[in-house]
Amino acid sequence: MIDSHCHLDVAAFDADRREVLARAAAAGVHGMLIPAIRPRTWAALAALPAAHPSAPLAIAFGVHPHAVPELDAAELATVTDLTRAIAAARTPATVAVGECGLDGGTADRAAQERIFRAHIRAARALRLPLIVHVVRAHDTAPRILDEEGAAEVGGVMHSYSGSAELVAVYRDLGFAFSFAGAVTRANARRPLAAAVAVPDPLLLCETDAPDQAPGAAGRGGRSEPAMIGLVIAALARVRDRTPADLAALTVANAVRIFGVWPRSGCATDRTS
């Protein structure tokens, strides 16, 4: 299994990160992709794969839309030339640009849109796929992705929150779709309907750890990569597949999109 989106670098894992990684390995997780949240965390994130050499960690650099209103002066300087900043931070474990995007519940929409466009341009310049967060902004995100030529590199709509009808829109823009713990809940009709609409080659799964804990733990509990099997099981049920088949499919898709290789270390070297 591959967890295509988890924030193992955040403080919620400082006390037991090694144990979390051990539980992931024991559960059969052979790949984890950790997207950045804001520039001041990039250096620590870049060091994480080397600090855990036996863990199959890949990383991405970006600015989460939730962080946009809180960026300090140094971080604002970073986003003025995001392509150069990501190129400078890049390591052999870097497989994507993100997390980035738009969030309708977060302030400073104009700044969000400006920084989102900068991410798309950086991804095109660096030839890396995008990891895109869109919540309550599906009226705007497809237009920006189209205007900025995101289809050149594609990527993943992380924890996809759009409708089943919008799947074709993002698909035509070159994007795959990842689903997290929300699909395991009793009232998960909308994300499950969207998951059914996603073509096989474009389906991924994630935990979004430490957020979106699956099932009964989802209200206030901490998620972690070892829980990815619960997400896979929920997706398998609605797609009429076995969990093993669904796991194999999502691993193959992650390998193709990100170059994250199960059981072989972090990732392919995209620095060349």
Burial of 177: CB neighbours in 10 Å, binned 0-12, 13-18, 19+: buried
232 close to 249: Cβ distance less than 8 angstroms: no
Strands (DSSP E) contained in 17-163 are 31-35, 57-61, 94-103, 130-135, 155-157
**pLDDT at residue 23, as a whole number:** 97
**pLDDT at residue 187, as a whole number:** 85
SS3 (DSSP) at 171: helix
Among candidates 200, 210, 266, which has minimal Cα distance to 33?
266
Q: What is the full DSSP assignment across 241-265?
A: --HHHHHHHHHHHHHHHH-PPTTSS
**pLDDT at residue 259, as a whole number:** 87
Domain-wise residue ranges, the chain: 2-258
**pLDDT at residue 113, as a whole number:** 98
The pTM of the full predicted model, rounded to 2 decimals, is: 0.94
C-alpha pair distances (Å), 227 with each of 84, 215, 243, 245, 249: 36, 10, 13, 17, 18
CATH topology of domain 2-258: TIM Barrel (3.20.20)
Quote the longest CA-to-CA distance of the chain.
50
204 close to 253: Cβ distance less than 8 angstroms: yes
**pLDDT at residue 266, as a whole number:** 39
Burial of 256: CB neighbours in 10 Å, binned 0-12, 13-18, 19+: exposed
**pLDDT at residue 271, as a whole number:** 34
Identify the helix (H) or strand (E) that includes residue 176: strand 175-179
Cross-strand pairs, 35: 60
**pLDDT at residue 261, as a whole number:** 59
**pLDDT tens by residue, the chain, 272 residues:** 999 999 999 999 999 999 999 999 999 999 999 999 999 999 999 999 999 999 999 999 999 999 999 999 999 999 999 999 999 999 999 999 999 999 999 999 999 999 999 999 999 999 999 999 999 999 999 999 999 999 999 999 999 999 999 999 999 999 999 999 999 998 889 999 999 999 999 999 999 999 999 876 556 689 999 999 999 999 999 999 999 999 999 999 999 999 875 544 434 434 33
**pLDDT at residue 270, as a whole number:** 40
Q: Alpha-carbon distance 10 to 209, whole Å?
A: 9
